[in-house]
Amino acid sequence: MKAVKTEATAFAPATVANVACGFDVLGFALESPGDEVTVRVTEERGVRITAISSDDGLPDLNLPTNPQENTAGGAVLAYLDGEKAEFGVEMSIRKRMPAGSGMGSSAASAAAALVALNALVETPLTPEALVDYGMKGEAIASGSEHADNVAPAIMGGIVLIRGYQPTDVVRIPSPNNLYCTVIRPHCEVSTKEARGILPKEIPMKTAITQWGNLAGLIAGLMKCDEGLISRSLQDVVAEPHRAALIPGFHAMKQAAIGAGALGCSISGSGPSVFALSASREAAEAIGKAMHEALTEACTEGTLYISRLSDGAPRIVSLR
């Protein structure tokens, strides 16, 4: 594979994974926040991360610059090796969202890096092919290859991961008026810890309930049926175990539902909590209620309100 451009910068968005009942198989993209990555072609093979910076107000970063230990670097290494690239790259990463937030921070960096790299080559890969390389980067952060963050970060919209051998990802049509309120408590929950707390087996009755909720949510999204969406946004597998890791979770969920949310659950592995609603006005009211509940739990948090993004990551600059 040859490069025909020398430098590209791409933005990829934050994502909400699991979406309550869709553990490891469902995720959606937000319009903001997100990460930016600049990729530059070099004659020397391999990957070199030259800088990692963050926007003002974000926690100090301790992210590795070794590409084999960095999700963006690992994804790009996999792409270059897999496509037998005849060049190497330098990368600089601008974190515009907090790491360890449960909003797909690692996936956003990997997605932005892959989209930027893909814009430089003679024969760009499909978004579906990029997802496979993005999963290689995600494995660095979580210990396993999963696509429920990186697939919507690359493809945009709401994405169902039907299977992994081979990777089979499907964009799900949805109402255009869906808004997401996300609140990030000022604490961290590691993905590995959140996965480790889950039971290895679940009762058949629990599995059937979860399958029904997932099927109902997909049907509700495709039919633009807010009532069905609301009834289906229930997680009986991960949330009962992970809620204990998040300060004020139950109070925030109760506040969100009381303020009119269609549903509320943990974003990814946490600590962020998300709620869906049918308008920006509702999303803002829900955010206010959730923030008050979190504050009463003696913890501060950062609030994000965004329409669900129907678009893919974007190229910021190309030359």
CATH value at residue 252 = 3.30.70.890
Q: Is residue 313 part of a domain?
A: no
Given this model, what pLDDT does residue 13 score? 95
Domain residues for 250? 179-307
Given this model, what pLDDT does residue 193 score? 74
Pairing type for strands 179-185 and 301-307 reads antiparallel
The total number of structural domains in the chain stands at: 2
Same domain for 154 and 264, yes or no, is no
Same domain for 145 and 186, yes or no, is no
In the listed set 172, 207, 234, which residue is the last one of a domain according to the structure? 172
Query: Which positions are catalytic?
Result: 138, 191
- Compute CA distances 166 → 132, 152, 169, whole Å: 9, 17, 10
pLDDT tens per residue across all 319 residues of the chain? 898 999 999 999 999 999 999 999 999 999 989 999 999 999 999 999 999 988 765 655 678 899 999 999 999 999 999 999 999 999 999 998 877 788 999 999 999 999 999 999 999 999 999 999 999 998 887 777 889 999 999 999 999 999 988 999 999 999 999 999 999 998 877 667 777 889 999 999 999 999 999 999 999 999 999 999 999 999 999 999 999 999 999 999 999 999 999 999 999 988 999 999 999 999 999 999 999 999 998 788 999 999 998 877 899 999 9
Which of 163, 161, 160 has the alpha carbon at shortest distance from 174?
160
Q: Is residue 1 part of a domain?
A: no
Same domain for 107 and 231, yes or no, is no
Same domain for 149 and 237, yes or no, is no
| Structure-token pair, residue 191 | 């993905």
Rounded Cα gap, residues 275 and 19, in angstroms: 9
Q: Is residue 167 part of a domain?
A: yes
Given this model, what pLDDT does residue 101 score? 82
In the listed set 116, 142, 172, which residue is the last one of a domain according to the structure? 172
Given this model, what pLDDT does residue 309 score? 81
Same domain for 254 and 229, yes or no, is yes
Same domain for 205 and 162, yes or no, is no
Same domain for 189 and 301, yes or no, is yes
Q: Is residue 314 part of a domain?
A: no
Q: Is residue 278 part of a domain?
A: yes
Q: Is residue 2 part of a domain?
A: no
Q: Is residue 312 part of a domain?
A: no
Rounded Cα gap, residues 22 and 146, in angstroms: 13
H or E element, residue 74: helix 71-82
Sorted by sequence, the CB contacts under 8 Å of residue 153 that are 6+ apart come out as 12, 13, 15, 29, 104, 107, 108, 110, 111, 134, 313
Given this model, what pLDDT does residue 257 score? 98
Rounded Cα gap, residues 301 and 184, in angstroms: 5
Given this model, what pLDDT does residue 146 score? 84
Omega of the bond leading into 59 within 30 degrees of 0 (cis): no
Given this model, what pLDDT does residue 100 score? 76
- DSSP letter assigned to residue 309: P
Pairing type for strands 88-95 and 26-42 reads antiparallel
Same domain for 71 and 205, yes or no, is no
Residue 76 sits in a domain of what CATH number? 3.30.230.10
Same domain for 97 and 205, yes or no, is no
Same domain for 19 and 118, yes or no, is yes
Same domain for 187 and 138, yes or no, is no
Which of 197, 229, 199, 200 has the alpha carbon at shortest distance from 215?
229
In the listed set 123, 149, 172, which residue is the last one of a domain according to the structure? 172
Same domain for 104 and 167, yes or no, is yes
Given this model, what pLDDT does residue 299 score? 81
Q: Is residue 318 part of a domain?
A: no
**Beta-bridge partner residues of 38:** 9, 92
| Structure-token pair, residue 46 | 């391999």
**Beta-bridge partner residues of 53:** 94
Q: Which segments within the chain are labelled E, that is strand?
A: 7-17, 26-42, 47-54, 88-95, 158-164, 167-172, 179-185, 263-266, 273-277, 301-307, 314-318
The pTM for the full model equals: 0.92
